[in-house]
Structure 1
């Protein structure tokens, strides 16, 4: 199979896309494992799962990524910008379906959505120290997001850990006469939260941190933030959240 010719940029030809780690050919029908987010040909990773399953006496409910060995529960594929399909390692495992809201959030995480800087002013949040205004929905939001990305209901310990890191950071900002620049504080916050979340969220970590920051900055409740996400996906006309949607 011929490698597609690369286009030229200002600094010379762009490197060709990474090949499928299994067949070493250009990826055909791109598919991702749901935890580590490594990409493969859909046919290749499906065959890999069937091969590994054939070597096990008991039916599997998860598969270790051939590259990083992280446990994954499903293959995400056929993403067209608005929807995707999911093939579970064991189709009986699909009973782990949590809710339509969780499915929507997973759809959002695997989509290529631009950052919402045109809708939410992140810089002002840090410059004006608006992080002192506690978001009363953060615990519930964190629980839903972590459940979505781990496909597991029992995430209280993970949520407690991530939320604890965030609260410790904000309490320290209140105690200290911290004259650090807003961008420095933002970078420190994102670094600390990334380190806290990465062991559990793996390849979804950076996207999760983006969403966590945007949710905090927005001051919206979960329903209003979901409507904002629908706007970002182009599935809802633009409009501002009502006052009832924000922290009070």
Structure 2
């Protein structure tokens, strides 16, 4: 006997889907903004997301509850959903219940949430303070940065919303170090910082893309911005926040909805940064 969700899935998803129109093919996950990876659906409203994206979303929401919740509101329409449907092939599907991994969920700190929110702003608003082009032209990339590892760890944790990122961190960090601080410099590189920068961007993008997907290009830009600043993490955060006009990501502060809307975001507001979402349920 098939349950109601199976019938609804088959009604919404054809076993032999028609070819996508040009408009349909441009659709992307509302969370990561990239093409759908392992397409999944919430079981009541049937809004579509990448499986990993919506799974991480449910973990963030679950972390706001004192006990494991049995449902979660869709980030798009706020409909209550009890599970994620994925692996639909027309004859069967798999189901992941909302509270299944509650004990393993990673709770984003305010600092993590601040960094994640930075990725939803327009790129380039700090270029007049931290000059990336000058960083490459002045060969400052030859100077190792002792704060980079900790900064990268927080950045990756915020983007993929997982606590244990050591494997990803060391993989990306090794590529960054190889691209910046090895002794294999050629004269052509010394005279062509633009070429050095492009090689850095290509190598780091290749290393990060399997983990960060659609956020990879912005991630590579943010690495360059942090390196160009020459600051430690605390000073860099202060400069970033001051330019955006946000509150500090400290213990008693919160970025408000109005502050977020005032800064043009590149995706629809999805309730991720409300301090009280789902708390009254």
TM-score above 0.5, yes or no: yes
Q: For residues 146-161 of structure 1, what are the structure 2 equivalents within 5 Å?
A: 146-161=156-171
Q: For residues 39-118 of structure 1, what are the structure 2 equivalents within 5 Å?
A: 48-50=41-43, 65=50, 71-72=52-53, 73-74=55-56, 87=75, 92=99, 95-118=105-128
The aligned residue for residue 32 of structure 1 is: 30
Matched-pair contact (CA < 8 Å) for 1:32–1:38: no
The aligned residue for residue 204 of structure 1 is: 215
Residue 37 of structure 1 and its aligned partner are, at CA, apart by 4.0
Matched, 1:234 2:234: no
Secondary structure, counterpart of 2:151 in structure 1: helix
Matched-pair contact (CA < 8 Å) for 1:96–1:151: yes
Structure 1 75/98 Cα, relative in aligned 2: closer, same or farther at 3 Å?
A: closer
Q: For residues 138-217 of structure 1, what are the structure 2 equivalents within 5 Å?
A: 138-172=148-182, 174-180=183-189, 181-217=192-228
Residue 91 of structure 1 and its aligned partner are, at CA, apart by 5.7
1:86 and 1:152 mapped to 2: Cα distance? 21
Structure 1 52/154 Cα, relative in aligned 2: closer, same or farther at 3 Å?
A: farther
Q: How many matched pairs? A: 185
Instruction: Give per-residue Cα distances to partners, 1:48-89, cap 9 Å, x unaligned.
Output: 312599xxxxxxxxx862xxxx6323569xxxxxxxx98496
Structure 1 204/32 Cα, relative in aligned 2: closer, same or farther at 3 Å?
A: same
Instruction: Give per-residue Cα distances to partners, 1:99-154, cap 9 Å, x unaligned.
Output: 11101111111223434211112122111110111111100011100011111011
Secondary structure, counterpart of 2:30 in structure 1: strand
Residue 169 of structure 1 and its aligned partner are, at CA, apart by 1.6
2:150 and 2:113 mapped to 1: Cα distance? 16
Structure 2-normalised TM-score? Answer: 0.56
Residue 21 of structure 1 and its aligned partner are, at CA, apart by 6.5
Residue 31 of structure 1 and its aligned partner are, at CA, apart by 7.7
Structure 1 91/116 Cα, relative in aligned 2: closer, same or farther at 3 Å?
A: farther
- Structure 2 segments unaligned to the other structure (5+ residues): 1-21, 59-72, 76-80, 85-96, 248-281
Q: Which has the higher contact order (CA 8 A, sep 6+)?
A: 2
2:159 and 2:220 mapped to 1: Cα distance? 12
Residue 171 of structure 1 and its aligned partner are, at CA, apart by 3.3
2:202 and 2:74 mapped to 1: Cα distance? 31
Structure 1-normalised TM-score? Answer: 0.63
Residue 96 of structure 1 and its aligned partner are, at CA, apart by 2.4
Structure 1 229/91 Cα, relative in aligned 2: closer, same or farther at 3 Å?
A: farther
